Structures are given as C-alpha cells and as structure tokens.
Structure 1
Amino acid sequence: MPFVAELYFDPSTEEHLRGAWHALDEAGISDSMPKGGYRPHISLGICEHLELNAFAKELSTFAASLAPFRLSFPNISIFSTSEGFVYWGATATSQLLNLHAAFHEIFKKYAKEQREYYTVGQWVPHCTLAFGLSEDQITKAVNVCRQMDLPVSTEVKEIGLMEVSPTGCQTLFLFSFKTTDTTELNDELRPEYDETMLKDGVRGKYAKQYAAGTNIVRLEPDVAAAFPSEQAVNEALRFALKVIEGAKNL
C-alpha cells in the first residue's frame, strides 16, 4: 500500500475544493475523492515502502522549519495518462519548488520504490479533483469544474503522511508549519500578481496633480503640538477669521 506525503491548505480553500468534489458527485461523474476519505492536498511524494518512524521524526523537524505561505491555483487541467485525472494546477513558484526539493532530500533516505511522477524534475504540483475517469467523464468533469471561480489563492500550512489502500486512506502523521508573528509585514508579492506590471513605476509621478487638487497644509511641529486634532485647527482658524473681519470693520 503506497505512502503519500501531502501539503494541506487553509479551511476556506478546503471547503471550496470539497464543493467541487460535491458538484462532480451530484453530476454523477465521480465520487472518487470524498468516497476515498481524502483531504484536499498537493502530493509531494509517493512510495511503496517507507521507514515510518525515522521519516516521521525528520518530517516533524522539517515542518517546524517552514512558515505558512501563499499559493495560487490558476487553472483546471488533465494528465495525458490512462489514470483519468482532472486537477487544479498550482503555480510552480520558486518557493514551492524549493520546498519540494528539500522534502525529497529527506524522503529519498527512507522511501523505496518512489513514483517517478513526483520526483524532482518530474513533479507537476496539483490538487486532484477526480481520478479514474473515462474520456467522456473527463470532458464532463472539466465542464463542471470550469464553473468555479479561478484563480484560487490559498495558504499552505500543514504537511502530513497518508497511507492509501483500495478502500480509502488513513492519516499517519500531521505536522503544522511554524507559527509566525502576524504583526510583521509580509512584503512578498503574492503569486496571483504579475511582477512585470510593477517594473515601470515612477516615484512621485502624480504628486503635483494630487497636491493641486487638495487643500492639505503641513503644520510646523510647534503648531501641531498646540492643535492636536483637525477640529482644533478649524476652530482656531475660524476664530482668527472673525478677528480679521472684525478688525476690517473698525
């Protein structure tokens, strides 16, 4: 029975994916994922034999070294193999590929008879929507799944190990990524944004136009200290205007 190492998502993405599984089931196309007891995931590696205890110990340490990260699923696709897979394709960011490569440095020490499709250089990161489909079912499944809003952005936050049998799957280990300080600014560009659109930005390009259309006045520090709020400034200026108008009438 094969062992599968998997990445898991935030709850909202899981719910979204389970909705797709339910739609495929309701359409009479496939119940392969919910029936098998699967959790929405990206498989990192699959093997037939594994030194469980030693691998689990290293996997726990590996998970503790990782921080949750964002990932995007921009498309629905199929594999041109006989297994009949329809899946969400994940954006193969450098962060995801580096994680996969680092994982396999550990996995290869304890795994035997690995599935070639999941090894470094062969891997296509994806989240399965259905498998075991005929050609006709694949067409129908794609049409159903095309109704989903894409791209979908998720947070990857856990890694686990499953054992798969003909009757379903069983979770053997589950490890969360290290927690991060949410008060820190995350200045990484999310994968759904096109970095090339930002390359021609000019600092202060519209500053003059903006200033011309506003009535913002910068107060000197000593004045600002005396008038700590917008209301205080306005009241003081109104009083000054009354004094000036009164002086004109003398």
Structure 2
Amino acid sequence: MSEGFAIELYLDPALENQVLKAWNVIARRQISTSLIEMESRPHITLFSTPFLEPSKLESIVKTFASKHDPFQLTFSSIGTFSNDNNILFLSPTPSLSLLHFQSQLCDAIRREGIDVPDHYAFNSWIPYCSVAHNVPKPRMAEAFSVLRDLKLPVSGYAIDIGLVEFSPVRELFSFVLGNNADP
C-alpha cells in the first residue's frame, strides 16, 4: 500500500554521483542503507502528499517543466532534523531560482484544486537532499564525519522533475526542465 506521492527535483549526473557516493560510504560503514533499499534517487522533494490522483498532476508537471530551464544547485552544508527519523541531509545554498521554482510549482498545484501542505508553503519549506534515514543515534557523529569528507560545497544543476509513489519508490513520470518538445 502506498504511503504517499512526491514531486521530486532531480540532479544532473555529476551532482547525483556526489550524493550517491555519500549513500554508498554510509552503507559500507553499515550506518544506514534505507535510501538504497527503498530504491530512491538523489533528489529534493518539492511537494508531497499522502493522497493524490497521479493523473491530475501529470499535465501540471509537464507544462511546468517545459516553462523552466535547468538551474544551478550547490549543496553547501550538512544537516539533520530533530525528529525520530534521524535523517541526515545535504542542504542546498538557498537561491531565488530554487525557492521561486518550488513556490511556483505549489501555486500551479493549488490552481488545480489540490491541497498543498503547510510545510511546503513559501515561508516554511526546507529544501534538502537526504543522504541517510534512520541513522542510529549512537552513530550520528560518525555519519556526520563521513559526510564532512565530501569536501563541500558541491555544485551542479537541477535538470528534471518527476512524480514518485513511495515506499518503495516507484517513479510514475518525469520531465526534463526546459524541454518544450512534445513526445
């Protein structure tokens, strides 16, 4: 049974490989393997909801993607949330490109009558790229140490967006940013 749906912002191959390198080091050290096991892909979640009719979003996301070009992303810091999931993440340097992109996407979703949870509002959304979930508390310091070896900042581009159902993750569709060609 589905836990929910998410619109995810995907990274160019070089930046994605930097994130995957972190996932793999954390997995080899047996700190956390959950992202690999759920077959996720490095991303920044732009919107998520437990209930959705995916077909309602496909044309919204396709049109939105065609009107936005790829833009630069830089992961510049390591963070964690103070909750029970013990998530470790890379935090992107806030940029107007990223913040406006996410805000405009949520506006487009709202115009179609789909509720956008409060934590995705312009003044509440926290962009991040997960590198480990369910890190045991006694291993948190070791996980941070592993991530420090990434030599931040790492930069690249946001290149496409897609809708996934989770968990495990199953991509339902994705569209390249700025691709105005119809299939």
State the TM-score, normalized to the length of structure 2. Answer: 0.91
Superposition deviation, residue 98 in structure 1 = 0.7
- 1:49–1:111 contact (8 Å) kept in structure 2: no
Partner of 1:90: 92
Distance in structure 2 (CA, Å) of the matches to 1:27 and 1:116: 36
* Residue matched to 1:58: 60
Q: Map Cα deviations across residues 164-223 of structure 1 (whole Å, 9 max, x no partner).
A: 02xx1100010001159xxxxxxxxxxxxxxxxxxxxxxxxxxxxxxxxxxxxxxxxxxx
**How many pairs were matched up?**
177
- Residue deviations 1:47-95 (CA, integer Å, cap 9, x gap): 0111321211111000000101111111111111222110000111111
Q: Say if 1:55 and 1:110, in contact at 8 Å, map to a contact too.
A: no
Sort the Cα spacing of 1:34 and 1:152 in 2 relative to 1 into closer, same or farther, 3 A. same
TM-superposed CA distance for 1:22, in Å, is: 0.5
**Equivalence for 1:178:** 178
Q: 1:161 aligns with which of 129, 142, 163?
A: 163
- Greater alpha carbon shift after TM alignment, 42-51 vs 114-123: 114-123
**Which protein has the bigger helix share?**
1
What is the CA–CA distance in structure 2 between the aligned matches of 1:146 and 1:163, rounded to whole Å? 31
Q: Assess if the C-alpha contact under 8 Å between 1:78 and 1:87 holds in 2.
A: yes
Residue in 2 that maps onto 1:20:
22
Q: d(CA) in 1 for partners of 2:56 and 2:136?
A: 40
Contact 2:65 / 2:179 at 8 angstroms: preserved in 1?
no
Highest RCO, 1 vs 2 (Cα 8 Å, sep ≥ 6): 2
Q: For the aligned residues, what is the CA RMSD? A: 1.6
Question: Residue in 2 aligned with 1:35?
Answer: 37
Tell me, yes or no, if the aligned pair for 1:91 and 1:125 is still in contact at 8 Å.
no
1:8 paired residue among 10, 27, 35: 10
Paired residue for 2:120?
A: 118
Give yes or no for contact 1:48–1:111 (8 Å, CA) kept in 2: no
- Could you tell me which of 121, 131, 134 is aligned with 2:133? 131
| Counterparts of 1:119 and 1:135, CA distance in 2 | 30
Identity of aligned residues (%): 29
**Cα separation, partners in 2 of 1:110 and 1:21, compared to 1, 3 Å:** farther
Structure 2: 5+ residue stretches without partners: none
| Residues 110 and 169 (structure 1), Cα distance of their counterparts in 2 relative to 1, 3 Å cut | farther
